[in-house]
Amino acid sequence: MWRIRAFEERVGELTRADEVYGLVHLSIGQEGVAAGVCGQLRADDAVYSNHRAHGHVIAKGAPIERVLAELMGRENGLCRGLGGSMHLVDAEHGFMGATGVVGGNVPLALGSALASRLLGSDAVAVVFFGDGAVQGGIFVESVNLAALWRLPAILVCENNGFAEFTPRSAHTNVERVGDVVAPWGLARETVDGNDVVAVHEAFGRFLAGARRGDGPMLLECLTHRLRGHYEGDPARYREALAAEEWQERDPILRLQRRGAVEGWFDGRVPGRLEHEARTEVEEAVRLARESPFPPPSLVSELVYAGL
Amino acid sequence: MAHELPYIAAIAEAIHEEMERDETVLYFGQNIATSENDPFLQAFGSDRVRVTPISETAEIGIAVGAAFAGYRPVVELYMAEFMLVAMDQVVNEAPRFHYMSGGQVKVPIVLKAGYGFTCGWAGQHTGSIYGMFMGVPGLKVALPATAADAKGLMTASIRDDNPVVFFHHYLLTLEHGEVPDGEYVVQLGEAAVRREGGDVTIVALGWLLGKALKAAEQLAAEGINAEVIDPRSLAPLDTATILESVAKTGRLVIVDQSTRHGSAAAVIAAEVASEGFSSLRAPIKLVCALDATIPYSEPMEAYLLPDEAKIVDAVQQVLGFAPVGV
Amino acid sequence: MPDQGLDRDRLIWIFTQMLRIREFEERVKRTFEEHPGVIRGHTHLADGAEASIVGSLAAIGPDDQVLTTYRCHGYPLALGTDPTAMMAEIYGKETGLCGGYGGSMHLTDVSRGFLGTSGIVAQGIPHATGAAYAAQIRGKGQVVLGFFGDGASKQGAFHESLNIASLWKLPVVYVMENNSYNVVTRVEQEDANAAAGQPLAIKAKAYSMPSVTVDGADPVEVYENVSEAVERARSGAGPTLVESRVYRLSAHGNIIAPPGIPLHFPEHEAITVFGNAEEFEAAKRGDPVPRFRARLVTDGTLSAEEADSIAEEVRGEMQAAVDFGLESPFPAAEDAVKFVYA
């Protein structure tokens, strides 16, 4: 979670300095979900994400310096600068892709799940999406098929109550995403997405079940994105969270507090982890700045496979 | 009289004025009217102005159904690519009902979508895909390049009894321009000659109009006088104005942000080659995006796209050819 | 009116409309054999669904509106559209309901609230939703009935439309005619709820929408449930999903073939694809038209002679429709470029 937090905060700065270019969506506040879920997955478990994917790709194992290089459009980026923030792919670590159009990733995950089953593997597919994606037609088409074919797919909804600039209540009169999928009989649970222990525990149960063939499932993680929809969004459509309230909800601080109470780690560990994370991110910034831009001719090379 | 407005505000002004003038005009889509201070909501109320979920098929389909029932919806779609998930409603439903019903129903809807946002929005948010819509019978396509036209074409689109896809260029969003006060209509199907000249005709679309005009200045310094035409709408397409210009200049360069095949440039080139061949003294030259998905990284993105240098180069090429088949 | 229940006149009206639809569809089907080449393309018949269609339409008033699917012949008949114009349209004639421009799949009669028919599965659902939105703004208490099949409930358009209708409390009643088949696919093969033995109406819970499953072979049961939903919509309380269990007695449509190969209706897919003749035979035994006739005669609403007399009139009416269609001229070829733009 600290690695994601340090990364996202730095990316925010780099975006304002125009070193990270274009449209960027940060996941500060939602780290608990990425960490709680991805930490339990294998490299052969396929993960799909949406436009707010930095946390997911890092938690799934992508090297931070290559993620940052991609955001800075460099040759050393995960996609050699071709994809950018919304189209990160790290196939080596099973991060099969972030997509920029809401809901478009859900059927992709079903495809991976289907392939896994056909290959006789117990690998699962996980797809991250927001509450806004749930009202899209593509979502229910996917839910029906996943249920009908009992695919080993785990749908993880980061319900932060907002779809871009609009609250959930403007999109539907069904408050809980879990209630939307209920008619199709998916195993489902709603957890506090900012309690990384709860996320880890609930997802762990689903993961074990999916590997056994009990899929599909939906894990709804109630969370909060601290920043606007995109970097630069003044977010006038919602009330800013008071600092004290954020302290209560911050997934990192909550784990810190709980860890201290439960004796999981001594008091120096959180500070050390933060320091290590920020150091790693600074090193990534240095490496990314040193990486050259890709040659323009690259644009024509990858239009078709096999040429 | 006129006032200065940014391009995006000129579009909103047109929608607002038409909603005042005609109570059957509706305005809905994602992320609009969610705050009670929203000017549209305050002026027209939540019957006529609504936010929708992320449901493009339903948004456009609802517009069609409301149009069957006598209303004139404007649907805010934000980006051209977001229409793709709902292509059935755009191509297969909205433009076909007037015809299939033998004229009984009309579908006066406007689908407002931005395009061409080539400044790091990467592969799925930057397309110039108007070519997909140009040839659909019954569907009209508006493509304003100035703030004034943004207002005038939106007004015309709302008043049109047919479905209109209104594409506004994202890179023009904050471009200021003189916008006429009050009622202002720019008819669909009327191109504008933005600069007169006798040596070559340059047809340029949307954001590239500005680049073409700059290229024309550069060429003028070299003694080449370019005529620059802004088509303003792609369906109906004002081929007559383009043909008239080519009859004068004999040479045609078309500047289009989309890739070659399936582009507006390809359609215009085919029209001129077919109807104006005897005017041409050189082959037609297309300055389009290279054939690739728009990449994220800045130097690669710039490499793909038309720019002033490429336009100047194309003009010099068409002037360097010997006349064809004299 | 719905809240007056079904008196004798109304019951006879229902019976008559069911007969008219059945006879019309039979005559369409017979045209393939008796006049090959007259009907082109793909035609879909509603024989077997008459009770559901008429029972639903008995619940609405003259200002209400209806949208449906390409299986659209039954609805305008019950709404009062002229069957001669309908047959002429199916035959592609100039005198057709849409001037020959649309054909079987796109019947439209705006004057009777039959607003326009799409040939694409589920895409009429958002259209019905939009018409209901218009009705809500207009504020005259109109209600819209949106009909579609079970296959449509897997389309994104279904999900998006029902969600919005529920959120905005639109005055629409969604009637899903579940005939258990999507062309050559059985509903259990493609629907997670059906595969689990559940009614499809359960999907409405995803939208906080009330729903009900009814026997679509019983026009009175359909009428009672759709009426309740119509009242609810009219009162401003929002939409309802009515799942109406029906069985179509014809195949999905006529065979698909290029020009030169005579078109015809094959046997029902239950037999040709699933080898389940028994299912089809059972459906024929439960045919809603003779079933309703028997009920009315048994309970004394109608005598057998009166029923026969109505049937005779209906046969005459539809014969006239066929004759009119056959005799009517084709549109002028150059009319093909009219109506591109309004």
Same domain as B219, residue B117: no
CATH of C2-325, one of 3.40.50.970, 3.30.110.60, 3.30.379.10, 3.20.20.70: 3.40.50.970
- Extract the tokens encoding A120: 């006789």
pLDDT at A236: 78
Same domain as B292, residue B251: yes
- Extract the tokens encoding C100: 């020959």
pLDDT at C2: 40
Q: What is the mean pLDDT of residues B94-105?
A: 90
Residues of C in contact with A179 (CB under 8 A): 205-206
- Extract the tokens encoding B64: 């069609």
Considering only the beta carbons, identify the residue of A81, A165, A171 that sits closest to B295.
Answer: A81
Considering only the beta carbons, identify the residue of B61, B70, B105 that sits closest to C134.
Answer: B70
Residues 6+ apart with CB under 8 A from C71: C44, C45, C46, C49, C149, C248
Are the beta carbons of C205 and A135 separated by less than 8 Å?
Answer: no
pLDDT at A186: 95
Are the beta carbons of B100 and C132 separated by less than 8 Å?
Answer: no
> pLDDT by residue (tens digit) across A54-66?
999 999 999 999 9
Are the beta carbons of C126 and B57 separated by less than 8 Å?
Answer: yes
pLDDT at residue A307 is higher than 60: no
Q: How confident is the model at residue A302 (pLDDT cuts 50, 70, 90)?
A: confident
pLDDT at residue B2 is higher than 70: yes
Average pLDDT of the residues of chain A: 93
pLDDT at residue C80 is higher than 90: yes
The more confident residue out of A162 and C65 is C65
User: Could you tell me the residue range of the domain that residue B205 belongs to?
Assistant: 192-320
How close B20 gets to chain A, by Cα (Å)? 25
pLDDT at B324: 40
Domain boundary residue among B180, B211, B226? B180
Q: How confident is the model at residue A267 (pLDDT cuts 50, 70, 90)?
A: confident
Q: How many residues does chain A have?
A: 307
Side chain identity, residue C172: V
pLDDT at residue A8 is higher than 60: yes
Average pLDDT of the residues of chain B: 94
Residues of C in contact with A141 (CB under 8 A): 154-156, 159
**Would B265 be classed as within a structural domain?**
yes
Round to whole Å and give the CA distance between B127 and B298.
Answer: 16
Considering only the beta carbons, identify the residue of B57, B70, B92 that sits closest to C157.
Answer: B57
Domain boundary residue among B180, B204, B220? B180
> pLDDT by residue (tens digit) across A65-78?
999 999 999 999 99
> pLDDT by residue (tens digit) across B270-294?
999 999 999 999 999 999 999 888 8
Same domain as B67, residue B152: yes
> pLDDT by residue (tens digit) across A195-206?
999 999 999 999
The helix/strand/coil state of C98 is coil
Q: Tell me the CA distances in angstroms from C12 to B155, C3, C74, C220, C310, one per residue in order.
A: 52, 18, 17, 12, 9
Residues of C in contact with A148 (CB under 8 A): 190-192, 195
Q: What is the mean pLDDT of residues A95-117?
A: 90
**Would B186 be classed as within a structural domain?**
no
Q: How confident is the model at residue B322 (pLDDT cuts 50, 70, 90)?
A: very low
Give me the residues of C, 223-282, that contact B with CB < 8 A. Answer: none
Q: Using alpha carbons, select from C47, C60, C4, C15 the residue that is nearest to residue C304.
A: C15
Q: Which letter does DSSP use for residue B91 in this model?
A: I
pLDDT at residue C10 is higher than 50: yes
Query: What percent of chain A is predicted at pLDDT more than 90?
Result: 78
Residue B261 annotated among the catalytic residues of the structure: no
Of A82-96, A227-241, B33-47, the one with minimum mean pLDDT is A227-241
A137, closest residue in chain C (CA to CA): C156
Are the beta carbons of B99 and C340 separated by less than 8 Å?
Answer: yes
**Would B185 be classed as within a structural domain?**
no
Q: What is the mean pLDDT of residues C301-308?
A: 97
Q: How confident is the model at residue C1 (pLDDT cuts 50, 70, 90)?
A: very low
pLDDT at B8: 96
> pLDDT by residue (tens digit) across A212-264?
999 899 999 999 888 888 888 888 778 778 888 888 999 999 999 999 999 99
Are the beta carbons of B53 and A99 separated by less than 8 Å?
Answer: no
Query: What is the residue-wise DSSP string for chain A?
Result: -HHHHHHHHHHHHHHHTTSS-S-----TT-HHHHHHHHTT--TTSEEEE-SS-HHHHHHTT--HHHHHHHHTT-TTSTTTTSS-GGG--BGGGTEEEE-SSTTTHHHHHHHHHHHHHHTT----EEEEEEGGGGGSHHHHHHHHHHHHTT--EEEEEEE-SEETTEEGGGT-S---HHHHHGGGT-EEEEEETT-HHHHHHHHHHHHHHHHHT---EEEEEE---SS-SSTT---TTSPPPPHHHHHHH-HHHHHHHHHHHHTSS-TTHHHHHHHHHHHHHHHHHHHHHHSPPPPTTHHHHTSSTT-
pTM to 2 decimal places:
0.91
pLDDT at residue A281 is higher than 50: yes
Are the beta carbons of C115 and B105 separated by less than 8 Å?
Answer: yes
Domain boundary residue among B158, B180, B202? B180
Round to whole Å and give the CA distance between C128 and C132.
Answer: 6
Cα-based angle A171, A174, A177 (whole degrees, multiple of 5): 95
> pLDDT by residue (tens digit) across A183-196?
999 999 999 999 99
pLDDT at B124: 87
Interchain contact C166–B (C-beta under 8 A): no
Same domain as B165, residue B238: no
pLDDT at B326: 30
**Would B187 be classed as within a structural domain?**
no
pLDDT at residue B325 is higher than 70: no
Q: Using alpha carbons, select from B118, B120, B119, B140 the residue that is nearest to residue B130.
A: B140
Number of domains in chain B: 2
pLDDT at A306: 67
pLDDT at residue B199 is higher than 50: yes
> pLDDT by residue (tens digit) across B78-96?
999 999 999 999 999 999 9
Give me the residues of C, 38-67, that contact B with CB < 8 A. Answer: 65, 67
> Hey, of B51, B54, B56, B293, which one would you mutate to test binding to chain A, going by the most A CBs within 10 A of its CB?
B54
Same domain as B243, residue B125: no
> Hey, of B30, B51, B104, which one would you mutate to test binding to chain C, going by the most C CBs within 10 A of its CB?
B104
pLDDT at residue A297 is higher than 50: yes
Q: What is the ipTM of this complex?
A: 0.91
Are the beta carbons of B300 and A82 separated by less than 8 Å?
Answer: yes
The domain locations on chain C are 2-325
pLDDT at A239: 79
* Touching subunits for chain B (3+ Cβ pairs under 8 A): A, C
How close C278 gets to chain A, by Cα (Å)? 27
pLDDT at B297: 84
Same domain as B136, residue B212: no
Considering the segment(s) A2-291 as one domain, its CATH architecture is 3-Layer(aba) Sandwich (3.40)
pLDDT at A165: 86
- Extract the tokens encoding C188: 């259990």
The domain locations on chain A are 2-291
Q: What is the mean pLDDT of residues B229-239?
A: 98
pLDDT at C319: 98
Same domain as B293, residue B258: yes
pLDDT at B323: 47
Catalytic residue among B3, B16, B98, B125: B125
| Beta pairing class for C185-186 and C181-182 | antiparallel
- The CATH number linked to B113 is 3.40.50.970
Are the beta carbons of B161 and C133 separated by less than 8 Å?
Answer: no
Q: What is the mean pLDDT of residues B130-145?
A: 96
Q: What is the mean pLDDT of residues A121-133?
A: 96
pLDDT at B321: 57
Residues of B in contact with C118 (CB under 8 A): 93
pLDDT at A240: 79
The more confident residue out of B250 and B298 is B250
The sign one gets for the Cα dihedral A253, A255, A256, A257 is positive
